[in-house]
Amino acid sequence: MTTDPKFKLILLWLFTTIGMILHFNYHVGEIFYGIDIVRPEATGEVPIGVFVIRSVFYHLPFIWMLLIVYVKNALLKPILFGISLLYLLSHGAHLAGELSQEQIDPSQTSLLALVLVVAGMLSTEHYLWWKKSDSDEAAA
């Protein structure tokens, strides 16, 4: 049985998004154990960078999924492949940053490693989807 490439892509985008939501949740969840998670430079205002990060890792993937479902354009496949590579690099850098910490959190490290693997699968699937001819897709 062959799985529709679009289904695979949407599923992998969802997994990376859920992984990043869990990553944030793990940070906030430390409150339950009495750990102070407030940043020393915190002012009570949410910086614009938080909106940017949320948009990149939470909001934009929903747009990519909608494009996969509803847009048929020759440029879409290579563009989304390029975007998936950027996500793969950012997830790799994120994991490297976690591993460079003085104290490594095994929950975060294992989650970020898993998200990196999924991001690698996502890039691979986007490449395969891009290289697959439209006539092959119509026949499937």
Which has the closest alpha carbon to 109: 122, 97, 121?
Answer: 97
- Whether 4 is in a domain gets the answer yes
pLDDT of residue 137: 58
Longest Cα separation, the chain: 58
Contact (CB, 8 A) for 95 and 67: no
- Whether 103 is in a domain gets the answer yes
> What would the pLDDT profile of 91-129 be if each residue is shown by its tens digit?
999 999 999 999 999 999 999 999 999 999 999 999 999
pLDDT of residue 91: 97
- Whether 96 is in a domain gets the answer yes
> What would the pLDDT profile of 8-64 be if each residue is shown by its tens digit?
999 999 999 999 999 988 877 777 777 776 777 878 888 899 899 999 999 999 999
- Whether 55 is in a domain gets the answer no
- Whether 46 is in a domain gets the answer no
* CA–CA gap between residue 57 and residue 47 (Å, rounded): 16
pLDDT of residue 1: 55
What is the tally of structural domains in the chain?
Answer: 1
- Whether 2 is in a domain gets the answer yes
pLDDT of residue 47: 86
> What would the pLDDT profile of 43-53 be if each residue is shown by its tens digit?
888 889 989 99
> What would the pLDDT profile of 62-97 be if each residue is shown by its tens digit?
999 999 999 999 999 999 999 999 999 999 999 999
pLDDT of residue 90: 97
pLDDT of residue 60: 97
Q: What is the pTM of this model?
A: 0.86
Domain extent at residue 83: 1-36+74-132
The DSSP code for 60 is H
- Whether 42 is in a domain gets the answer no
- Whether 66 is in a domain gets the answer no
